[in-house]
Each structure stands twice: as C-alpha cells, then as structure tokens.
Structure 1
Amino acid sequence: MLDSHTAQPQTHRRKRQRRRGPNGGGGARFQAPHRPQTASRPQADYDASPVAFTALPLEPALLDGVRLRGFVQTTAIQSAIIPIALQGHDVIGCADTGTGKTAAFLLPILHRMLQSRAADPQDRGFTRVLILAPTRELCVQIEDDVQGFIYHTDLTSAAVYGGVGMDAQ
C-alpha cells in the first residue's frame, strides 16, 4: 500500500501494549511486601508543662552543663520525653524546629552514661552511643550541644561526617 502524500510504501505497525501491574497500573512490577497488622503500643501519659531543669533527676555535673547552655525550664517536648527516657523507656517524639528535641534525647543518654561510669570507674574507653544525623549541619549542631552539656564531666564525644577532610573534623 502506498501513502498518497509521499509515494512511499506505508507500513502498519501494531501499537505496543503495556503490561498492566496487579493494581491496573503499568510499569513497575514491584509488589509491596505484606505487613501483618500489629497492635499499636498505647501512648504513655505525660505532662508537658514546663519544669525547672534543676527539678529533674539529672547528674549534678550534667545540670551544670545545662545551666551553662542557658537552659532554665523545659519545653513541652522536653517535659514529655525526659522523665520517660530517664526511666529507661523507648520514646518517639515529634515537635517543631527549635523546640528542644536535641536536648530531650541527649540529656537522658548522657545522664545514663554518667551513672554507668560512676558505678564502674574501670569501664572507660569504649564507644557507648552512636547518634546518626541526616545532614552535616545537624551533626555539627548535635555535637555542639553534647560538648556544652558534658563540659563539666569527663565524658568525651566526636562528630564524624562526610564531605570534608579528617583534619577539619
């Protein structure tokens, strides 16, 4: 058959059909794994009203670091998280930027580290905590807070991140 406009032989090509996935869509053949229904853990009761940091059962040297950083009263996230974490419970907390989430998770960790060192003075020189951060800037911010909180203690810390030479760290 000839095309009347170009006098070229006209070929008929069948349109390629796309395979449909299990949900009717094309493309990916990936199927999400089956996740069994699990009972969610009940939310803990908490009091988010501000409390003086000196009223928290934190190690005195750690409280000196808190005072040095200019912290006087807890924020809502700190009031909710710190007492529960000090009891050794796992916690998940969400709050806006600048509300004190870093101190909320660091202070219970540092407190427990100081208590374990006091219980066994020979237990030194081992990595006790690894904190992962998604960005270099957040890593540096967390390290700055750690250094401020542990200033009056014998704890040490180091920030390690990519993108710069080891000397800069």
Structure 2
Amino acid sequence: MSRTVILVEGESDRAALQAAAVTLRRPLSAEIAVMYGITNLLRHLEEHAADRIVVLYDAPEHHRVERALAHSSAQPSALFACERDLEEELIRAAGADRVLDVIEAEGDLPAWRALRGQPFHREYPVEEVLHRFMGSIGGRKLRYASALVAILRPDELPRPLVEVIQAASESR
C-alpha cells in the first residue's frame, strides 16, 4: 500500500493540520508536504505520483489547481478548499473575541491596536482587519495557526481541516 501525502500551500497550513489532528485525537500518519505556494502543485503532484495524495488549498486559487491537474499524470484522491484561506477559516471558527484573546496572550495586542487604529482599517469589520493582521508580518500566520486551532473544540474546527484529516486516514 502506498503512503498518503497531504499537499498544503504553506507552513501555517501544516501547523494547523498537526494541531487539528491533536484536537481530534486522530494521529496523522500521512506526510504533510509544504508546497510553498499553489503554483508548485504540478511539481509536487509529479514528485508524489506513486503516493495517495490529498490536497488542501485556498478556493481563490482553484484555477491554478485545475491547470495543474490538467497537466499532471498524478491525480489526488481528494481536494479540499478553504473558502478564502485558512486564516479566514480559523478567524470565523473562533470568532473575533477569542482571536483577540489569543492575540493578547501572544503579546501582540499593542500591534493589533496600532493596526486597528489606522484610519484605513477603522471602517472595516474586525474580522477583515484580523485577517490582515495575521498576514502583516512574516511568520505571524505560522505562529497563530496552531494557537488558534488549540482554542477550538473538535466540533468548531474548520471543515476543510477535518475533511483533510479524515481523507488522509482512509485507506486507498
């Protein structure tokens, strides 16, 4: 039987999947391969052609996924899309108040207040500004991925994370 490989766009996706597996108490025996961007999907599909492949990606990148699939001899057994991206899924699952609690626990409340206080961001919904905050400094997505998953109950985890873990656990 071939191994299962989960292809994800970035390091934060891997961290979130690993944390979600812990939350669900489902050991993740699949390898998680970080593609460092969906534009590398074709190369990773070909590299893992002998494996059972599960892909987690951001829905706005669906056209790139379709293009890679059209040119690849390797086809994933399952594809799962985050509505906008994983950060948005986590913010929606946790809710703004709990995300702000995590930001405070991480010591980033002053940075959050500075961003929220900028005239441009004052008019936007808090969830939009939280999304911007997560991607505003290198490494912040990675740092917050597992921290946000850790505050969620199993029934609160974003659907794409749960489905990827379930698909990776199924036999071929």
In terms of Rg, which structure is larger? 1
Asked if TM exceeds 0.5, the reply is no
- Higher helix proportion (structure 1 or 2): 2
TM-score range, shorter chain: under 0.3
More strand by share: 2
Q: Which has the higher contact order (CA 8 A, sep 6+)?
A: 2
TM-score (norm 1): 0.23
